[in-house]
Chain A
Amino acid sequence: MSGILIYSELEEAALGLLTKGRELATKLGKPLSVALLGNEAADQADIYFAHGATQAYVGDDPNLTHFQARIYAAALAQMVTQAQADIVLIGSTRRGRELAPRLAQKFSAGCVTDAIGLSVQDQRLVIERRALGGNTVSAKVITSQHQVIAVMPKLYDAEPEAASAGEVIPVSLELEPPATKLIERRSKEAGVVNLEEAEVLVCVGRGLANKDDLSLIQTLADSLGGMVGCTRPISHEYHWLAEDQMVGLSGKEPSPHLYLAIGISGQIQHTVGIMDAKVIVAINNDTNAPIFKIADYGIVGDLYQVVPKLIERLQQELGR
């Protein structure tokens, strides 16, 4: 019994995992296949073959309506069994995070979610993930017969390989009706910016006293040619900025050239999101704020004094 099975409801994530999966499959000597759930799944198999899957296990069932981990885990477990897979890689989207541990439990298997690195060492699959709230990165191996790993969805880019074909294998699923019903889907206010593309990122935290003062932060970002992001309280508690502008463990993890933290204490769940920034600048009126420990440059002072001075000086220096 051996094989790697990939699943994600997000096509981009599944294709990225297949791309990485090709390397793992070669090193571990295992076949690589993909699980596709839902109607018309079989019609989409070609793109997965082009990315390295040699089999596509496809299945549909009227009970696979809205996502419900109990039902989806049951469906996927049936595919794992039919494919005789022992390694399952799932996109660590919100749905994937609910699904992977439940699937693992069905096989009494170990699971790792939010993986940020996969490699093969001594014929074992070594998985990296953050630990201790982001203070550390741990390397783990799963020792149960099955392994279920949810991998950060954008970790691996999708790259098709030279022409390849595969086999579509229908799986007849046996599923119970869900004990849940989708009533409605409310769309969220989306931020106007995509922080992952930012070269300069100005993040603001609870040091900001009023929503109106965001204009000050925006002006600074504009004079640096950058985007505005924030900590969790700003987006999720005060709703001053859109939720996809939050940076950190449970939000975005951009890697800008320049990151400015304004009125941010520097708690690990936030700073873990900007560890890859080239240069970190912090402005905080508390000289003991932890943010200064991870900063390249810092100014201890009231942001309402420092930021206008920065804007003025930047306009003098850069003429904007």
Chain B
Amino acid sequence: MNIIVCMKQVIDLEQIRIKPNTREPVIEGLPLLFGDFEKCALEEAIRIKEVHGGKVTALAVGSPKLRDTIKEALAMGADEAIILIDPIFQDSDAMGSARVLARTIEKVGEYDLILLGDSSADEYSGEIPPRIAELLNLPQVGFVREIEVVADNDQMSEPKKIRVARDMEDSLEVIEVDLPAVIGVTSELNTPRLAPLSAILKASRKPMHEWRSDDIGVTAEEVGARASVVEMLSNLAPIQDRKGIIYQDVEEGVIEVIKALQQEGVLTQ
């Protein structure tokens, strides 16, 4: 089974600082990592390949730092990587990013399954899987936490179906999906492996292709800032006015905190 895994590099959200006077986030220069959901998607692809054969291709759109970030995907076990780096991709909205990914997937051509994180850790919008699925006219299932390949009776042929568990608010829906399909996964799916050192060293020997807009035939009219249809007016940290009274001594802390809570009137009688 040939599986394409779309991965997004996101800034390390733990390291975001907020400017106290303006409430603006400071994100310049922060390290870029793959999110948990993305790694789970890749891990699942590798496990499926280990049982059913085929090929795992990791796909990512982003800044030049991807040349480094992507090595983790290769070290984990992707057979091949395609990274898309081009100034015209910059400041794409979700539609723009989905177009770049869908166009790349079309160019790759041979695929049975597209796996990706249901939502990214930074935006958590969940827009990319449905938009890619629409652009490729494929079925989609999101919030997936279990995947099982349904073997055909005819052992010789490739599997054409998977069975997934979709995590709904109050139930798990077990759904059979004809392939090819787009599946958005959550972190309950598996625990991603840590790449062993030997694999990290060998990662740069695996095929890595770097494509630009001409390689996939997209123009600045379709992607990037100019094509964006979502305009951001502001992006500020919410006002948080906390007291920040921290006790290093447990005995004192217990007494003082309970006293304070009584004064705040939050201890219900």
Contact = CB atoms under 8 A, between A and B. Distances in A.
Interface of A: 66, 68-70, 73, 93-95, 97-102, 104-106, 108-114, 126, 129-144, 178-188, 190, 199-200, 224-225, 236-237, 249-250, 257-258, 267-269, 275, 278-281, 287, 290, 292-301, 305-306, 309-310, 313-314, 317-318
Given A133-B122, A185-B173, A300 B229 contact: no
A281 B261 CA distance: 9
13 contacts: A69-B140, A73-B130, A95-B168, A101-B126, A105-B95, A133-B13, A139-B234, A190-B170, A293-B244, A296-B243, A309-B250, A313-B254, A318-B267
Interface string B94-134: 11001000000000000000000000011111111111011
Contact of A188 (B172, B229, B234): B172
Given A70-B133, A136-B236, A188-B170, 18 more contacts: A69-B140, A70-B134, A94-B143, A98-B126, A112-B125, A114-B125, A132-B11, A142-B230, A179-B177, A179-B178, A180-B177, A182-B174, A186-B171, A200-B268, A257-B266, A292-B246, A296-B243, A297-B245
Interface in B152-192: 163, 165-178, 181, 184, 187-188
B242 A102 contact: no
B127 A111 contact: yes
A101 B119 CA distance: 12
Interface of B: 11, 13-14, 16, 18, 25, 27, 93-95, 98, 121-131, 133-135, 138-143, 163, 165-178, 181, 184, 187-188, 229-238, 240, 242-248, 250-251, 253-258, 260-262, 264, 266-269
Nearest to B234: A139
A178 B138 CA distance: 10
Contacts of A100: 130
Interface of B is mostly: mixed
Interface of A is mostly: mixed
Contacts of B27: 132
